[in-house]
Structure 1
Amino acid sequence: MTAPVDPLSPLLALADVQDAVVEARDAADAAMRHRALRRQGGAVAAEVSLRSAVASAALAGYAHEREQVRAGVVTDPVVQGCLRVAAALPSLVETWPKAPRQVLARLHVLAARGSVAPELLGHPVDGFASPRLDALSALVTGGTSAPPLVLAAVVHGELLALAPFAGAPGVVARAAARLTLMSSGFDPRGLIAPEVGHLAREPEYVGAAGAFATGTPDGVRSWLRHCAAAVSLAAADLTEVAEQTWTAPQS
């Protein structure tokens, strides 16, 4: 019997993709070895969660100063949705690779509450029935052995392109990508916030996402390289947070 072909395996053969993925993985691993994470890991994770939410909201067109969000004075429903999503991710890690459609519906409820009509929460837009979403769910539930970062990028890009839910679909897409990194073991503690990297290179993010949606090899390559760069930037941001949080043990 012929073994099934991994649908994502050809992506690693695209020019520079393998190197970019390895570089991002190395950057993330190095950041997650920071000494602060042994003593102040909870504080670091909380700060990363905040930065993730603020960046995702900004990418959705709702930019606010991080300190204002931290202070609780920003009541914008999209920002509040991003905060709810970021806080919920650890509780969804185990379910994501088993029931991704269920988790996507939950993410939409969290993200879009207060932004769209209640009857739309957790449900795809009218008429949406996409074999691509079924295929994506199959990948998440074990249909590929591609590196986690590649799978996360494909999850992110496909959900941006498909936009199955009403109201800021990018928030759901970015959360699903982050869940993929967490559930795969790439970032089990949720310390890498790719949203920060996407925001730092926002024009590239928008352009590469559009290129991915074309389905051409060059478009997919552009997106994968951007996502790898975003993870590397997120790793640098994690190091910055860890340095700011670090307090030397008392002698």
Structure 2
Amino acid sequence: MTTDPLAPLLDLADVAPAVQRARERVDAALRHRALRRQGGQVAAEVGLRSAVASAALEGYAHEREAVRDGTVTDPVVQGALRVAGELPGLADLWPRAPRQVLARLHTLAARGVVPEEALGRPQIADPADGGGTPGGLWMVSARLDGLAGLVTGGTRVSPLVLAAVVHGDLLALRPFAGPSGVVARAAARLTLISTGFDPRALVAVDLGHLEREPEYVGAAGAFATGTPDGIRSWLRHYASAVEIGAERLEAIADEV
């Protein structure tokens, strides 16, 4: 019998209860009455707000209404909007060809930010960790292959845990030039969408990350250490962000 590589994460202190609470909170939010009649409007609004939040987490904060009005031309914001718009259409491909989808996400997110020849191509973010040497590039590729293996069926843990690992690994690895964090957050959302955890792309998890930004940054750094405490910190943060995302979904549904 093959051991599930992510199963031990649920044995870390407080992780399983946090995941269960987040699951229940999302299920409750997805039963909101407004979603029966206005689910498309709600999804569009969640997409806009998530894109603005993801760009802000990348260091490019802009007023949401200015983005909505089309007066913000910042390429990172525009890239985050493009990514948000294509997530539903990429959900079916994500669990079958995650490397291909990551390249597509980077192309959408980084257009106008990095040179055309860098779009969709993994690179070494930190010269001290390999600096573009063949060995360093192999390391990045190998880690992406490992992550792809999880996405394509290599684990049966909760989709929330898998999404958190996808997000944390991509933040730590930063395999693409430019707004790599936008790609990481989008890949995590795709994991929630494609697994049926959030099938209509309604949970505004990136708003949860932004509202707890200091914790988001600290927990992501802790996850990158690979220690049990660091991974636990990140998983608990991620579950909390999903809960906040469910709360913001309900608030948005009340507004539309």
Q: TM-score interval w.r.t. the shorter chain?
A: over 0.9
Tell which deviates more after alignment, 132-141 or 212-221.
Answer: 132-141
After TM superposition, list the pairs within 5 Å mapping 1:6-21 onto structure 2. Answer: 6-21=4-19
User: Is 1:191 paired with 2:212?
Assistant: no
Q: Give the match for residue 65 of structure 2.
A: 67
Aligned partner of 1:25 in structure 2 is 23
| Matched AA of 2:221 | G
1:122 paired residue number: 120
Match of 1:176 among 184, 187, 206: 187
How many aligned positions are there?
Answer: 243
Select 2:105's aligned residue among 96, 107, 120. 107
1:41 is matched with: 39
- Write out aligned runs for 1:230-245 (5 A): 230-245=241-256
AA aligned opposite 1:41: G
Residue 193 of structure 1 contacts residue 231 of structure 1 at CA under 8 Å; is this kept in 2? yes
* Cα distance in structure 2, aligned partners of 1:73 and 1:124: 32
Greater than 3 Å deviation, 4+ residue runs: none
What is residue 248 of structure 1 aligned with on the other side? none
- Structure 2 partner of 1:167: 178
Q: Distance in 2 between matches of 1:68 and 1:33?
A: 31
TM-score w.r.t. length of structure 2: 0.94
CA distance in 2, matches of 1:217, 1:22: 20
Residue 217 (structure 2) pairs with residue 219 (structure 1): no
Mind listing any 5+ residue stretches in structure 2 that lack a counterpart? 124-131
Q: State how far apart, in whole Å, the 2-side matches of 1:31 and 1:63 are.
A: 27
Code of the residue aligned with 1:50 in structure 2: it is L
Residues 205-232 of structure 1: CA distance to partner in whole angstroms, max 9, x if unpaired?
A: 0000000000000000000000000000
Give 1:193 deviation, angstroms: 1.9
Answering whether residue 203 of structure 2 is matched by residue 205 of structure 1, we say no
Partner of 2:128: none
Asked whether the equivalents of residues 178 and 193 of structure 1 are also in contact (C-alpha less than 8 Å), the reply is no
TM-score (norm 1): 0.96
Match in the other structure for 1:97? 95
What is the identity percentage for the equivalent residue pairs of Structure 1 and Structure 2?
70
